[in-house]
């Protein structure tokens, strides 16, 4: 996920700015070659070419070095190159706009969230319809505890009114991804206050309650979501999940079945329902559910581990050993990726 996010942000800047007019004759060809290398996805080669110049401190060279470092994922060096010279670039020029945008994105990717905001705001001023930029700026606002500005940015991104229930819901979803649950809860409550029947708001509030082990509250919210939005499979899945956390196996079965009937292409309800059948010693149904889950999502460690338990309890030690080993390997891979 992190690599996908970085790739998305990197794609924000397309290195298509041409070499500034009026460059010294000895610099212009090298700058043009370096820009072409960046455009073609070879920033490291561009860096080597630029650093080999006899005057690497020239503003145009420094500017392009910063661009190259950004595209080479060296955000700290991109900042070091661009920050001292951005004010020296001609006002309203493409070069200056590019430098400002890259400074904002580089600060964000380097973890300098407050420092990124002013640059991203400047970039938004001339890229009002750039959805990727609105997304990154919205995330930065969340992380700097500016929920109203975050909502405005996400509303711009999704083209909804900033004071609408939709804007509150969308902002809450982004906040949940960043683990700002308390801010998300406030946004969701505002969405419901403005429209008590707004879809998914009760679901997300219920999900937060379940994650915090407030199961009765979560169940009530999921049931309310289902009243409003009876075809929403995720609410049935989370309702069944909440019942399993209370060890209410019989109560969990109907909503999990409904989740599967509504969306037979998602492995989550299959896994939990397989676990329920395993707990109830209904090993035939447990195996069927878990085999289906493992087929749909072969890299899911939980599905393989539970399937191993089924094989263990049905006296198939070799199959159980295979599934436990696979689950352990997949869990290890998942832990490494999270780091």
Domains and their CATH numbers in the chain: 1-127 (1.25.40), 265-339 (1.25.40.10)
- The rounded radius of gyration (Å) of the Cα atoms in the chain is 26
pLDDT confidence of residue 182:
95
SS (H, E, C) the chain: CHHHHHHHHHCCCCCCCCCCCCCCCCCHHHHHHHHHHHHCCCHHHHHHHHHCCCCCCCHHHHHHHHHHHHHCCCHHHHHHHHCCCHHHCCCCCHHHHHHHHHHHHHHHHCCCHHHHHHHHHHHHHHCCCCHHHHHHHHHHHHHCCCHHHHHHHHHHHHCCCCCCHHHHHHHHHHHHHCCCHHHHHHHHHHHHHHCCCCCCHHHHHHHHHHHCCCHHHHHHHHHHHHHHCCCCHHHHHHHHHHHHHCCCHHHHHHHHHHHHHHCCCCHHHHHHHHHHHHHCCCHHHHHHHHHHHHHHCCCCHHHHHHHHHHHHHCCCHHHHHHHHHHHHHHHHHHHHHHC
Buried b vs exposed e over 73-93: b needs ≥16 C-beta within 10 Å?
ebbebbbebbbebbeebeeee
Closest among 335, 329, 278, 260 to 299, alpha carbons compared: 329
pLDDT confidence of residue 63:
95
pTM, 2 dp: 0.84
Residue in the structure block whose two tokens are 């035939």: 284
The tens-digit pLDDT sequence of the chain (339 residues) is 444 454 555 555 554 444 444 455 578 888 999 999 999 999 999 999 999 888 767 899 999 999 999 999 999 999 999 999 999 999 989 999 999 999 999 999 999 999 999 999 999 998 888 888 999 999 999 999 999 999 999 999 999 999 999 999 999 999 999 999 999 999 999 999 999 999 999 999 999 999 999 999 999 999 999 999 999 999 999 999 999 999 999 999 999 999 999 999 999 999 999 999 999 999 999 999 999 999 999 999 999 999 999 999 999 999 999 999 999 999 887 665 555
pLDDT confidence of residue 336:
57
pLDDT confidence of residue 138:
96
pLDDT confidence of residue 127:
84
pLDDT confidence of residue 286:
97
Tokens of 38: 């960046």
pLDDT confidence of residue 172:
98
């Amino acid at each position: 996920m992190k690599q996908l996010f970085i790739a998305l942000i990197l794609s924000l800047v397309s290195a298509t700015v041409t070499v500034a007019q009026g460059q010294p004759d000895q610099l212009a060809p090298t700058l043009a070659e370096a820009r072409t290398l960046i455009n073609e996805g070879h920033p490291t080669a561009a860096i080597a070419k630029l650093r080999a110049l006899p005057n690497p401190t020239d503003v145009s060279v420094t500017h392009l070095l910063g661009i190259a470092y950004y595209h080479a994922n060296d955000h700290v060096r991109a900042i070091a190159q661009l920050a001292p010279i951005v004010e020296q670039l001609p006002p309203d020029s493409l070069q200056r706009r590019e430098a400002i945008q890259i400074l904002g994105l580089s600060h964000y990717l380097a973890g300098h969230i407050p420092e990124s905001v002013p640059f991203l705001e400047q970039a938004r001023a001339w890229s009002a319809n750039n959805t990727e930029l609105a997304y990154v700026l919205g995330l930065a606002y969340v992380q700097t505890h500016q929920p109203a500005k975050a909502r405005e940015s996400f509303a711009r991104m999704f083209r909804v009114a900033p004071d609408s229930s939709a804007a509150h819901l969308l902002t809450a979803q982004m906040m949940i991804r960043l683990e700002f649950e308390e801010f998300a809860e406030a946004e969701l409550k505002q969405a419901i206050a403005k429209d008590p029947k707004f879809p998914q708001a009760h679901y997300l509030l219920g999900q937060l309650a379940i994650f915090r082990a407030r199961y009765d509250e979560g169940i009530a919210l999921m049931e309310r979501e289902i009243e409003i939005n009876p075809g929403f499979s995720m609410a049935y899945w989370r309702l069944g999940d909440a019942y399993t956390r209370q060890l209410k196996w019989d109560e969990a079965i109907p909503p999990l079945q409904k989740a599967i009937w509504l969306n037979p292409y998602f492995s989550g309800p299959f896994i939990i329902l397989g676990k329920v059948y395993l707990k109830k010693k209904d090993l035939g149904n447990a195996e069927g559910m878990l085999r289906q889950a493992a087929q749909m999502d072969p890299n899911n460690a939980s599905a393989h581990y539970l399937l191993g338990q089924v094989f263990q309890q049905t006296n198939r030690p070799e199959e159980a050993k295979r599934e436990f080993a696979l689950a352990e390997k997949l869990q290890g891979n998942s832990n490494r990726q999270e780091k």
